[in-house]
Chains A and B, each alone.
Chain A
Amino acid sequence: MIEKLKPEPAIQSSKDASKIIIEITGMHKWFGAFHVLKNINLKVSTGERIVICGPSGSGKSTLIRCINRLEEHQEGKIVVDDVELTGDLKNIEIIRSEVGIVFQQFNLFPHLTVLENCSLAPIWVRNMAKAEAEDLALKYLERVQIPEQAKKYPGQLSGGQQQRVAIARSLCMNPKIMLFDEPTSALDPEMIKEVLDVMVELAETGVTMLVVTHEMGFATAVADRVIFMDEGEIIEQKPPNEFFQNPEHDRTKLFLSQILAH
């Protein structure tokens, strides 16, 4: 709690990029008998933007969901912002309040207005005053360009608008890390762009981002590193240019040829 009293810089400067903010070592995860993640080793520096891709069922969503403990890993070690993820509920709640996640299905709270969706966590997790939290929420709603929808309920918005609200909701917690779990996969083609635009803009602020997506245009434009996963393993990771022009493994080449073919 003492740490949180210190004023946090709204934007993480890329100068401390040398600092490792996520460190995963020798991590394994099983769903029942099914071995979903195998020996994952990954270091992410502060401010780094990573795109994770791979065929469906390769474990990429599970991997990022392990980072805020929506999924529990069975072996190995995950350290987020110098806190190790264990069964300790207090640690988990602290890490979750520092790590934002945007889901494929938006998962907005349908019984609350857009403004309430965004101000809820600052009020109840950060103990912020209601008026202050609402100002903050409006600020981020402006940033995702839908302040005029603040009084509406999620069910009254389009998919693209809902996803932008979901991004604003996460940003209201001033997270150090943003996770995106296929944020555009449930959207109509016309709405994908409005969400990607917001994400590109967000990337420019320097927040650490891990994005599971098949939007290769986004990866090229924004990512510092592209990770390719298959069958629960990290097969290959490279800067986007190298990754697209010079893939090493046959599996990566096959994947790229399939998604770039159309």
Chain B
Amino acid sequence: MAEATETYKVGQHPDLPPPRSEVGVIGWVKYNLLSTPFNVIMTLLAIWFLWSIIPPIFEWAVLDSVWTAESRKACWAKMEVPEGAACWAFIKDRIGLFIYGFYPADLRWRVNLSFVLMVLAIVSVLYENMPGRKFGLWYAVAFPFITGWLLVGGLGLTHVDTDQFGGIMLTFIIGITGISFSLPIGILLALGRRSKLPVIRVLCVLIIEFIRGVPLIALLFIASTMLNYFLPPGTAFDLLLRVLIMVTVFSSAYIAEVIRGGLQGIPNGQYEAADSLGLTYTKAHLLIILPQALKISIPGIVNTFIGLYKDTTLVLIIGMLDPLGVGRASLADAVWAGLAREVYIFVAVFFFICCFSMSRYSLWLEKRLSTEN
């Protein structure tokens, strides 16, 4: 502080460092935690709350938990207090079901290989700096077909019915299909809704409003029961495929509205500048308008994707076993019944990891795309 009071000649005042109390750890603590008496009390209360809640949870979930046992009884026998800690042995016992559903055990390598291919595809799409990204993007386009073949079989591989799919694998299939197809479809719907051609505009508005006006569960029931009535007789249409279409269409309508919001945020001058250079509608949108509109829509898009991802659990209502469905089915087993906490915590942690990653990625992307100072 003392330095700032020194006098300098006019026009020769140097840049001084900010006062000490404003920077560093001490400055941060003082400013954020201890600035007023009320703030001091809130800080103490928060510390007390964390102190009383974290150690017991840690003991229950980690320190005292049991990882190997044949049954719930055997699990509890190993504890100081029966039911006093987590019995992860249950999850361990059922982990195959949680990951693969009823996929035949001797063919699970195909699912594992698909997981690896999936990670490669995701990395290729999400990380611009990846070496050989151009090849990576082509690979990402081919990925759904490769995995589809790997998982379902045919062409030399043993056929596996999609009703044997389940668990985390099913969540990934529905979630990733929904996310990757609803973005382009949503963009087209959003552009269509702003089209100058009345036919296209009205059609897009009708699709968006109808889909948004119907609950996803209703659409899933339509997919599982009614869709066959509308199709020509004899066309057996796989249930999973119907669910994939419904989930994609559902989230496309939401994405379309999010992107329309983004498009409205683009100043008119950008359209005029693009037009005035002689760019066609398609080029102007691909090069100028959409990159900016998508950038400002990122929080909304990711929000919709996270919602979609969690909504995949709704498929348990039409008899498909996603991780939550597998968990509920496992609880019906007399050997393990009663371990609901372990199951739901496991499922919750799985979904949290996926959704939190999406959220962090979107923040990272926003930062990277920022062109402000």
Contact = CB atoms under 8 A, between A and B. Distances in A.
Contacts of A155: 371-373
Given A93-B278, A94-B278, A124-B283, A107 B273 contact: yes
B115 to A, nearest CB: 35
A211 to B, nearest CB: 16
A170 B275 CA distance: 12
B369 interface: yes
Contacts of A153: 371-372
A111 B272 contact: no
A120 interface: yes
A224 B352 CA distance: 70
A83 interface: no
Contacts of B270: 107, 109
B269 A105 contact: yes
Given A124-B283, A156-B373, A108 B278 contact: no
B58 to A, nearest CB: 46
Contacts of A93: 278-280
Contacts of A101: 276
A101 B272 CA distance: 10
B266 to A, nearest CB: 10
Interface residues of B, number: 22
B288 A109 contact: yes
Contacts, number: 65
A103 B268 CA distance: 12
B355 to A, nearest CB: 28
Given A109-B288, A111-B291, A121 B369 contact: no
Contacts of B278: 93-94, 96-97, 121, 125, 173
A111 B275 CA distance: 17
Q: At the interface, is chain B mostly helix, strand, loop or mixed?
A: helix
Interface residues of A, number: 27
B335 interface: no
A70 B371 contact: no
A111 B286 CA distance: 13
A232 interface: no
A154 B369 CA distance: 14
A153 B368 CA distance: 13
A121 B371 contact: no
B173 to A, nearest CB: 34
A111 B277 contact: no
A68 B291 CA distance: 25
A110 interface: yes
B277 A125 contact: yes
B287 interface: yes
A156 B272 CA distance: 22
B292 interface: yes
9 contacts: A96-B278, A103-B269, A105-B267, A111-B369, A121-B277, A121-B278, A153-B371, A169-B277, A173-B277
